[in-house]
Structure 1
Amino acid sequence: MTTINSIETRPLRPLFLSYLFPAMIGMLLMSINILVDGIFVSHGVGPTALAGVNIAVPIFSILLSISLWVGMGGATLFSIAMGEGNKKRAHQFFTLSFVTMIAVVITLIIILSLNLKKVAYIFGASDITYPYVQQYLHIILLFGIFYTIENLLSIFIRNDGNPKLAMAGLITTSVLNIILNYIFIFVLHYGVTGCALATAISTMLGMSVLCLHFARKQSELKFVRSFFSLSDLKKIFAIGLPSCIVEATFAVMVVLYNITFSYYLGENGVTAYAIVNYIHSVLLTIFLGIGMALQPLVSYHHGARLLDRLTALLKIGITTALILGLITTLFAILFPSQVIALFGDSTFAIRNMAIQGFVHFAIGYIFLGINMVFAEFFQSIEKIRLATTIMLLRSIVLFVPTLILLPKLFGAQAIWWTFPVAEGITALLIYIYIKKKPHIVTA
């Protein structure tokens, strides 16, 4: 059994794998869990209700970005303190992170709840869809604090040497969400309200599973009375910023893609991209899982100043990301029609556009994992500017001009190349930077 204190003595490769698979499965389940609501609503309530749920879904991105921001920032500092052998500081970072997130989320929920109708229309509701948006959003906001606590705890539990329990909590949430959705929608006919209740109840029960970690003798997640420090709070927000950027910029990228596809290829282009993006949103979480697995190990070794093992961990992470990226790209090139067919029926024109586009789009996965690993690595060793720069390069700085220029220079089909070009240039810039400053990974 892995504990936070045994990390520095275990062989690195099996140690990394013991974190990798639970992290990847956990992140994958998080993405699928949100999609389950839409599937049940579409079949059990109707298309207008589905539109209402989809309009309300960005609330999850908002709540997730907050829990990632505070959770990844605090957990990184927690593991560094444990690596340094300073358990008191580790307990303070955990307590400060937990209290801070509760305060931020409750404040946000109160503001959003008091302005629920305005928020719904900002999200894209109309007079027709608003009743469904209101039903769903009201419940999700009421229980939103449990969603963020579950995310925060899963991050800290992984950092406290218990990745399997972190995964078990998310599995519990996902399985129960499916069961409760069926009961509330098809048996009790609660409609959209039942869907939201299923999500809320399953989240609370999944969170309860995570709380079992506190009964573990080896647990270092302890609440302390003396924890507040303004400088520590600034560190948490600074270190967690790259993780927040990943979630926040994903929504921006989707909007910009939709606008561009609509301009060049019309409604068919937007629909074809929606199919590819559905696949991408699932694959992205798998690649994020590599970084999630790497972070606790890197932060601990950084705190313990075990530089040789730190460098070896980076190499293992890069190798894993590259292999996974190559497999994903190769699979997309060889079996694009089979992959696209998994995500619903569509007209021949849309399906053909999605198949051709996905073949080009998927080349970006060769570079995506590498970029994520380097960003997570630098974030984990407190090199926040580097981590933030990598995230902004791939999602805004390089992405936006590439999205504008490629279709103008090479035609509408080149829109699909935006993702691989932006990720590829980012990876190249990282390579050049590391070549010039090879000691940056341990300095």
Structure 2
Amino acid sequence: MADQKRSSILGTNSISKLLVMQAVPASIGILVMSLNMIVDTIFVGRWIGPLAISAITVVIPVTFFIGAIGLSIGIGGSSVLSRALGSGNEDKAHRVFGNQITLTFLSSGLLAIIGLIFQDFFIEFFGADESFKDLALIYYRIVMYGIVMLAMCMMGNNVIRAEGKPKFAMYAMMLPAIGNIFMDYILINVFDFGMEGAAWATFISYAICFAFILWFFIFKSELRITASYLKLQKKLVTEISSLSFVTLARQATISVLTILLNNVLISVGDALDVASYGIISRMLMFALFPVIGVNQGFLPIAGYNYGAGYYQRVRESINTSIKYSGGLALFIFTLIMIFPTDIVSIFISNNETLDAKTLADNAEILNRTPSALRWVFAATPIIAVQLIGASYFQAIGKAVPALLLSLTKQGFFLIPLILILPAFYGVWGVWISFPIADVLATVVTGYYLNKEVRRTLR
């Protein structure tokens, strides 16, 4: 019984202890998942070539967006679920969970079918040119076969965390990541399957994650999968969707941003600049894993205590989360500024057995990317306010301000800057857009977060 009511500790334990309990497993899970992406990119770059990194980079927007369907429904629905658990309404929590399953399956399945039918159009639209289009199509086609499993995993992972069981959420990210790294080595290096090997390794990782999530909800969850709860209910769908749209809009904006970046970099630079961004985008997720972990840990704590009416605890969770994530962000910033060349060199090979063109491409990547990496991470120490501020509004169920603040960096500032600055400064204009957008977004988010806290959390 104690395990069944594990979610109640979100309203009783100290905020610092809860944040560590929630954030550490989330951070470890994100770390392993990020390591998976890093190692995947390293294997592809070293064993296939830098153009293979470009190929994966242009495929990511569509797989990222469909996976984000599950993430969005998971985070948005879990906000409703956390507040239902906090107020003691277990029946609503079960119904929310059932509706999350159905929404995720139907929406991701439909998008997967569309994505496979129009695969050639999407690959070109995402920025692939003739130098790596065939590689991109190989990877895209196989990964899309398993994308529904990824969406279900992203949804389920957030529900697990909302139940107050972050260790299982961590396992759900660790197991497929480890599996993918192992299968990458076997299929690419041992069996020499090239791009197909990288794609099938990713597919297998989705299957591993899905199997674990299904096992959890059958045997370990206080929520249950029953047919009656799977039927969509208009009121619940509206409530879930209004909050899910916040995350989905943010993730969709990231996908649009990636597509825009790929096309801009091809127009003002070349395919190697796309590869540089591929490395940088992996580092954005990998290096910031503890900051993102604190943010994910903050969501169920703030949502539960807001639902229970413990407003002082909500204030404390905001302040503690910003303090912890800000300190971590400063540490990450320092490492990036000191060791950019060492970081980039991990992704490329100088093996003399490689052909002359690949060696030349690798040398050019090592020449271009370190400076770009520094610029992209230049405003990292202040991003905690952006993340926690937008997540607070989502945690308490205020969809509109959560949506607007979530879109502030990528949508309102970064995309316009990338459309304008490269026309004057070329590829460098792309990289300097990132810190400018971070500063502007932090100022806006900080203002509205402070105003809302003073008004509502008395």
TM range (shorter): 0.7 to 0.9
**Conserved? CA contact 1:378–1:441, under 8 Å:** no
Change beyond 3 A, Cα 1:274–1:118:
closer
- Within the candidate set 212, 233, 237, 2:241 is matched to 237
Q: Residues 96-135 of structure 1 correspond to what in structure 2 (within 5 A)?
A: 96-124=99-127, 132-135=135-138
Q: Residues 59-98 of structure 1 correspond to what in structure 2 (within 5 A)?
A: 59-98=62-101
Shift, 1:67, TM fit: 1.0
**Conserved? CA contact 1:26–1:171, under 8 Å:** yes
- Within the candidate set 423, 428, 436, 1:421 is matched to 436
| Stretch of structure 1 that moved more, 25-34 or 288-297 | 25-34
Shift, 1:109, TM fit: 2.1
**Conserved? CA contact 1:3–1:162, under 8 Å:** yes
Shift, 1:196, TM fit: 2.8
Q: Residues 32-431 of structure 1 correspond to what in structure 2 (within 5 A)?
A: 32-42=35-45, 44=47, 52-124=55-127, 132-214=135-217, 216=219, 219-223=222-226, 225-226=228-229, 227-257=231-261, 273-344=277-348, 351=366, 354-403=369-418, 416-431=431-446
Question: How many residues get paired?
Answer: 443
Aligned residue type for 2:82: S
**Conserved? CA contact 1:291–1:377, under 8 Å:** no
Change beyond 3 A, Cα 1:318–1:206:
same
Whole-angstrom distance in 2 between the partners of 1:41 and 1:316: 40
Whole-angstrom distance in 2 between the partners of 1:3 and 1:255: 42
| Stretch of structure 1 that moved more, 196-205 or 280-289 | 280-289
* Other structure's SS at 2:223 match: coil
Whole-angstrom distance in 2 between the partners of 1:431 and 1:165: 33
Whole-angstrom distance in 1 between the partners of 2:222 and 2:120: 43
Shift, 1:102, TM fit: 0.6
Change beyond 3 A, Cα 1:128–1:324:
closer
Whole-angstrom distance in 2 between the partners of 1:415 and 1:94: 41
Shift, 1:422, TM fit: 1.8
| Stretch of structure 1 that moved more, 150-159 or 274-283 | 274-283
Aligned residue type for 1:159: A
Q: Kindly provide the CA deviation profile for residues 147-175 of structure 1, in whole angstroms up to 9, marking residues without a partner as x.
A: 11121111111111111111112211111
Q: Which runs of 5+ in 2 are unaligned?
A: 350-360
Change beyond 3 A, Cα 1:361–1:78:
same
Whole-angstrom distance in 2 between the partners of 1:122 and 1:265: 17
Aligned residue type for 1:199: T
**More contact order relative to length (CA 8 Å, sep ≥ 6):** 2
Aligned residue type for 2:84: A
**Conserved? CA contact 1:91–1:224, under 8 Å:** no
**What TM-score, normalized by structure 1, do the two folds share?**
0.86
Whole-angstrom distance in 2 between the partners of 1:323 and 1:168: 26
Structure-1 residue corresponding to 2:354: none
